[in-house]
Structures are given as C-alpha cells and as structure tokens.
Amino acid sequence: MKRRLFLAAGAAALAGCAKVTNGLNDSAGVHAVLDAVERLDYAAIGTRGRAKLYRAADVDRDFRTNGFDTPSDSLYDGLVKDGFARYELAVSGEVEHPQAFTLRELRALASLTQITRHDCVEGWSAIGQWGGVPLGAFLRLVRPTPKARYVVFRCFDRSPDGDPYYESLDLGQAAHPQTLLALDLNGKPLDPDHGAPVRLRVPTQLGYKSAKWVRRIELAAELGGLYGGNGGYWEDQGYEWYAGI
Amino acid sequence: MDAIAGKSGARAAQEARRRPLVERHSVLTRVTHWAGTLAFVVLVMSGLQIFNAAPYLDASDKSDPHHRVLAISGVTDAAGRPAGVTQILGLRLTTTGWLGYTDDGQGGRSERAFPGWITFPGYQDLAGGRRWHLFFAWVMVLAGGAYLLGGALNRDLSLLVLRPADVPKLLPMQLYYLRLRREPPPYGKYNPLQKAAYTLVLFVFAPLIVASGLALSPGVDAFAGPLTALFGGRQFARLWHFVFMLALLGFLGVHLLLVASTGAFNNMRSMITGRYRPGKHEGQGP
C-alpha cells in the first residue's frame, strides 16, 4: 500500500514536471524571448565559409527521403508523365526580367556538381552528389530590383493538412556559391521522391531549407504577407528561419 | 567536512561554531552558478527532446547504421503489446516505460525515446526543444564566460585550479573521504579532489560540450570544418555531445551528494549569501 502510494506520488511529481515545461513552451510571451536569439545566431554564424565537399565513395546511393509525401495531384502527375517536358519554372515579383524557364533551359544553365552532406533538423545526415544551377548566377539572369530582399520558393507539395510547402532565403544566402537549384542527384535527374524536377540545395543550413519540388520563384521585399508570415512552411510551425544551427 | 571526519556529537558542533563565518563566494560566482544551473537543467532536458527526433547515435560523419552506438526504439512485443527497446553497443535491453515506449508528457504513453517528464517541453516538439536549447546555450556560455573572466581577474579561479603540487594529495584525500585515513592532506579553499573535479568540468568538459554542439551546426561546419572533423564528423559530434552531457550529469550527481553530505545548510548558504563557516581542515595549506 505504501509502495503504491509512493509510486503514485512519484508519478504525479513527474507528470507535474511535464505540465510545467509544456506550459512554458505554450506561452507566446516566453517564445518571444527565446526566439530572439535566432538573430544572434545568424549574426554570429552567417553565410561564411563553404560546406565540406566529399568524395564519390562517400555518397549514399539510396539517399534518404523525408518530409511530405511526393505530390500526387493531377497537375504534378501530368508533369511526371511526359518527363517534365511541360514544366516551367516561373520567376516573378521584384525582378526586372520576369521569365519562365523550361527544364531544357535550366539544364543548359547547369554548371555545378557538388558532393555535400545534408543535415536534417531531426539530427541525421546523408551525403549526395548534386548537380544544377547555382542560384546566384540564376538570379543575375532575372535581375532582382533594389527592393528585393528575399527569394521565395513555392513548391508542389502540401502538408497532410493541405498547406503548401514554401521556403525562403535572403539574397546573401541565395548568392552563396554552394546554394544550388538542383536538377540531378547522384548523376541522374532527380526522381519524383527526391524533388523532381527542381529542388533547392542549401548545404550550409538544415535540410528543411532545401525545398523539394520547386514550382515557382518569387523575389520579395518582405516575408510577412506570406502564409504564416515566417518565411517557410516549417518556420510557420515554429522552426528557425535561419537554419544554420 | 566535519560530517565526513566522523567526529560527531556536540563537541564537533561547538568547535564548528567557534570558527567565524567567512566570505566564500563573490556575487559573480553566486549569480553565474545559479544561472548556469538553470541553463544546464534546461539544456539537458531540451537536448533529450531534440535527441528524441532521431533517437540513435552513430560513430560516423553521416548517419550510418553500421556505426550505431545507441538506438532507442518502440517495437511490438511477442504478445502484440507496444514495448521499448534500447540497444547499446550490441546489447539489447527491454526498457518499456522508461525508454522507447514511455510517458508522452501528456498523461499517456507513446513511442518515444526519452519520457516526457525529462524532456523540455514534455510533449514531443522538436521546434520548441530547439528554441529552448539554443537560447539557454547562450545563457550557459555567457554565465560560464563571465565566471571564468571574473574569476581570472579577481584570482578566485587560481585557488580552484588543480596544480601539479596537488596531484600527490589526490589519493590521500580520496582515502580520507573513504574513511581509510584519519586526516586529510593540508589544503586551502578547495581540497585537491574538488580542484580536480572543478578543473575537469571548467576546462575540459564545458569547452568540449560547447565545441561538439557547435560542430553539429552546418553553418559553423562551413567555416570551422576542422572542428567537426576533430570529433570524427557530424554524427560522431552528436554522440560526443551526448557523452559529455552524461559526464556533466555524473559530475552534478557527485556534486549534489557532496553538497548534501558535507554540511548542506552551510554549503547552500555559501552559494546564496556568500557566507560560509569553514571546516576544521580547510585553509591549512595551499
């Protein structure tokens, strides 16, 4: 009897522990303070340096997939059916030359192949060889206006709740020489599960910044007006916009 | 120290009262001690929350099941019930209720590595756990940095650092603690074992846990690649970060035990008000 009472008291104390931490985590005021260090982290780390380059032998042949299910709506399925021949990557917003690029045009611009590590926010890492168009060079073709500060990527995939995936980088991150509009993984065109036909690769930040299934690109002066206002799908769920740490 | 010396009873208490209170810990030491304590608790709990998102540790750069050192998972047992399994270096343990299938932090149970009562927050929330962890990492680094800088300036730190002359006193001090020796070797503000423990924590484990944490950051790795390589790669750094956490938890356990057993009131008073009544052996040597 005493033992049972003791166990019950212990369980209550432990449940109380979770109540306290849950309550603190649910407070918007507390998060306003916690989340302020994101700026400090970005200022301290920034976009300096280059992600480590690996050898071909390091590559994961069966590169891990994660995130939302591969899009399966009629629009995306239709594009898959004819090998993305009708896919166009439209660039709009704060640009002097709004344009749309076919996959063939993008392939003509592809100039970079790099073997880098993909670090997921969950904690795991995988290595892949990515080929495609350096985003900085790509943006020079469409010429961002002086008002442009962010590059927004709108994607084909949706969350289980139907919310569209989107991501954003600032112009400094976009201009990093390793930031890539990837078309190939491990020497082959991206397959649908890995983000075909175009995905982003940002090897200096966590994996959720490397949006798959990129549908459109917009240059923007602000991020506040988009969806949850935090610059990306996962950012709207509470993750950091600056994902270098 | 009197409790350890074994000289119990009224006479020892009388003797102790005759020794005057001294100023033991500066305001800086006390403030940074408690800020660091709070930060450490939140860092461990939020770190376990983050661990839960990928509940395994690999001794490799990229994730590699062939180099898996620890894995905690939820399974279905032979009777069809959910169970928790922990695998450490090939050893397979059933840990249902504790690890793998355990408290979900919301009054129920679910498949998760560490239980809700020890993670921050209690329920599974990687984004929230990261926010707490990254905030209190700054608190810890600033508190630790202020303590070290202040201690170096006011020379407090020099009384605490283990010196070559202290090394021969380590064994006699341990024997004294184990009651295998009547008198401790002569020592100053801190005894040789305290100096060894504090030196290890401040100058070995604290820098290592910060460095291994930074090595996990893809942004830091991009400009400080040798740091990540030093730990054997990113996943290995994650493993080291966990091991250093365990080492610091071990220190905390011993620390709490000794705080409680060497005059809990006197020790707590010294870290709150700064005032302390020295034991009879204290301050008799360097």
ipTM, 2 dp: 0.94
How far does the CA of residue B37 sit from the closest CA of chain A (Å)? Answer: 16
Among A18, A45, A123, the residue with its CB nearest the CB of B53 is: A123
Evaluate whether residue B10 is within a structural domain: yes
Distance from CA of B286 to the nearest CA of A (A): 41
Closest alpha carbon to B36 in B255, B192, B269, B239: B255
Q: Which residue is associated with the tokens 């100023």?
A: B23
Which of A15, A49, A206 has its CB closest to that of B117?
A: A15
Is A18 in contact with B126 (Cβ distance < 8 A)?
no
Give every CB contact of residue A25 below 8 A, 6+ residues apart in sequence. A31, B120, B121, B125, B128, B132
User: What residues contact A71, with CB distance under 8 A and at least 6 apart?
Assistant: A77, A156, A157, A158, A192, A213
Size of interface A-B (CB pairs under 8 A): 135
Residues of A in contact with B53 (CB under 8 A): 121-123
- Domains (ranges, CATH) in chain A? 51-236 (3.90.420.10)
Q: Do B223 and A24 touch (CB under 8 A)?
A: no
For residue B137, being part of any structural domain is answered with no
Report the SS3 class of residue B190: coil
Tell me if B265 sits within 8 A of B13, measured CB to CB.
Answer: no
For strand A214-220 and strand A88-93, is the pairing parallel, antiparallel, or unpaired?
A: parallel
Task: Measure Cα distances from B24 to B57, B97, B269, B274 in Å.
Answer: 42, 44, 10, 5
Residues B12 and B74 placed together within one structural domain of the fold: no
Nearest to A22 among B105, B131, B222 (CB): B105
Beta bridge partners of B70: B57, B88
Looking at residues B28-46, what average pLDDT do you find?
Answer: 98
Taking only the tens place, the pLDDT of each residue in B56-77 is 999 999 999 999 999 999 999 9
CA of A40 vs chain B CAs: smallest distance (Å): 9
Are the C-beta atoms of residues B159 and B190 closer than 8 Å to each other?
yes
Q: Tell me what pLDDT residue B3 has.
A: 46
Residue B82 is assigned to a structural domain of this protein: yes
pLDDT band of B90, cuts 50, 70, 90: confident
Q: Is the dihedral of CA A30, B49, B126, A124 positive or negative?
A: positive
Distance from CA of A147 to the nearest CA of B (A): 27
Mean pLDDT of chain B: 94
* DSSP assignment string, A167-234: EEEEHHHHTSTT-EEEEEETTEEPPGGGT-S-EEE-TTS-GGGS-SSEEEEEEES-STTSTTSSSSHH
Closest CA to B236 of B57, B72, B70: B57
In a domain, B192, yes or no: yes
Is residue B286 a part of any domain in this protein? no
State mean pLDDT over A232-241: 98
Same domain flag for B59 and B22: no
**Are the beta carbons of A180 and A132 closer than 8 angstroms?**
yes
Closest CA of chain B from A88, distance in Å: 31
Q: Smallest Cα–Cα separation from A52: which of A215, A198, A245, A204?
A: A204
C-beta neighbour count of B110 within 10 angstroms: 16
Range of the domain at B224: 2-26+156-276
Report yes or no on B35 lying in a domain: no
Residue A148 DSSP class: -
Residues of A in contact with B127 (CB under 8 A): 234, 237-239
Rounded mean pLDDT, B139-158: 95
Answer yes or no: do B62 and B18 share one domain: no
In A, which residues are within 8 Å of B122 by CB distance?
17-19, 21-22
The full length of chain B comes to: 286
Calpha distance A133→A115 (Å, rounded) = 14
Q: Is residue B178 part of a domain?
A: yes
Are B117 and A14 within 8 A, CB to CB? yes
Query: Both B243 and B180 in a single domain?
Result: yes
The domain boundary residue, chosen from B117, B145, B169: B117
Closest chain A residue to the Cα of B42, Cα to Cα? A21
- Residue A11 pLDDT level (bands cut at 50, 70, 90): confident
pLDDT in tens, B180-214: 999 999 999 999 999 999 999 999 999 999 999 99
| This prediction's pTM | 0.94
| Cβ partners under 8 Å of residue A203, min gap 6 | A51, A114, A116, A117, A118, A178, A179, B218, B222
Residue type at A69 in one-letter notation: D
Identify whether residues B204 and B270 lie together within a single domain. yes
Q: How far is B282 from chain A (nearest CA, A)?
A: 39
- Residue B9 is predicted with a pLDDT of 62
Q: Which of A7, A20, A25 to mutate to test the interface with B (most CBs of B within 10 A)?
A: A25
Q: Which of A15-19, B208-212, B225-229 has the lowest mean pLDDT?
A: A15-19
Cα–Cα distance, B7 to B264 (Å, whole number): 17
Q: How far is CA B10 from CA A203, B14, B266, B269, in A?
A: 68, 6, 17, 22
- Name the domain boundary from B99, B117, B135: B117
Q: Give the pLDDT confidence score for residue A230 in this predicted structure.
A: 97
Look at residue A173 in the predicted model and tell me its pLDDT: 98
What's the confidence (pLDDT) of residue A13?
A: 78
Categorize the per-residue pLDDT at A67 as very low, low, confident or very high, splitting at 50, 70 and 90: confident
Selecting from A34, A203, A244 the residue whose C-beta is nearest the C-beta of B131 gives: A34
Residue B45 identity (one-letter amino acid): M
Percentage of chain B exceeding pLDDT 90: 88
Q: Place A165 in a pLDDT band, splitting at 50, 70 and 90.
A: very high
Q: Does any domain span residue B40?
A: no
Residue B7 has pLDDT above 80, yes or no: no
Q: Does B17 share its domain with B61?
A: no
- CA B143 to CA B62: how far, in whole Å? 33
- Same domain for B166 and B235, yes or no, is yes
Contact A206, A119 (CB under 8 A): yes
In DSSP notation, A36-84 reads THHHHHHHHHTT-S-PPP--GGG--SS----SSPPP-SHHHHHHHHTTT
Measured distance CA(B92)–CA(B72) in Å, rounded: 10
Asked if B51 and A17 come within 8 Å (Cβ–Cβ), the reply is no
Same domain, B92 and B10: no
* pLDDT higher than threshold 60 for residue B2: no
Chain B residues near residue A22 by CB distance under 8 angstroms = 105-106, 121-123
What contacts A240, CB < 8 A, 6 or more positions away?
A35, A38, A41, B130, B131, B134
Count: domains in chain B: 2
What is the spatial distance between Cα A127 and Cα B233, in angstroms, rounded to a whole number? 12
